[in-house]
Amino acid sequence: MKNRILIILAGILFFITCGGCGVIITDIPPEALQLDPFSLKGIEIVEDTIALTISYSGGCEKHSFSLFMSPAAFLESYPVQANLYLRHNGNSDACEAEINQTISFNLQPIAALYTSLYGRYDEIVLNVFTFESNNKLSASYVPE
C-alpha cells in the first residue's frame, strides 16, 4: 500500500513539475545544453520516473527544466550507462532567493532506446551531471 501511494504521489509530482515531459535523447553536446546554474542535491528513481532534487537562485520569474540524454547512445559497460544533463532556464530571473525544488521526468524514452538496441530490458546506470561540471550523481534504473 505504501509503495502504491508513493507511485501515485510521484506521478502527480511528475505532471505538476514537468507537464508530462520525458527525457529528450539527443547528440547535442552537453555544453550547448547548459543555460542557467543549479545545484544537484539528489536523485530518486521510482518505476519509470526520475526525480531530481535541485536548488537555484531566483524567485521572481518562472523557471523551466528539460532533461537530456547525450550522446544518443549508451556507454558500453556492464551495466550500460547513460549520461543525463539538466537544462535550467531561469528566464533572466535576477532575484536571489535560494529555491529548493524536486523535478521529475519520464524515463520511458531511455527504456525504449535500450529495448530497440538490445532487444530486452536490463539495468542502466544513469549519470546525472551537475551544471558545467564533471561532477555527477548516479542511480540505477531497471525499466519495467
Beta 124-129 vs 64-69: how paired, if at all? Answer: unpaired
Counting as low any pLDDT under 50, the low residues of the chain are: 1-17, 19
Architecture per CATH, 2-141: Sandwich (2.60)
CA distances in angstroms from 6 to 81, 111, 125, listed in the order given: 26, 21, 22
| Residues 105-117 pLDDT 10s | 999 999 999 999 9
Dist. CA 34–CA 84, nearest whole Å: 12
Quick one: pLDDT at residue 18?
Answer: 53
HSE-CB at 78 with a 13 A cutoff on CA atoms is: 1
Q: Where are the domains of the chain?
A: 2-141
pTM score of the predicted model: 0.84
68-80 per-position pLDDT tens digit: 999 999 999 999 9
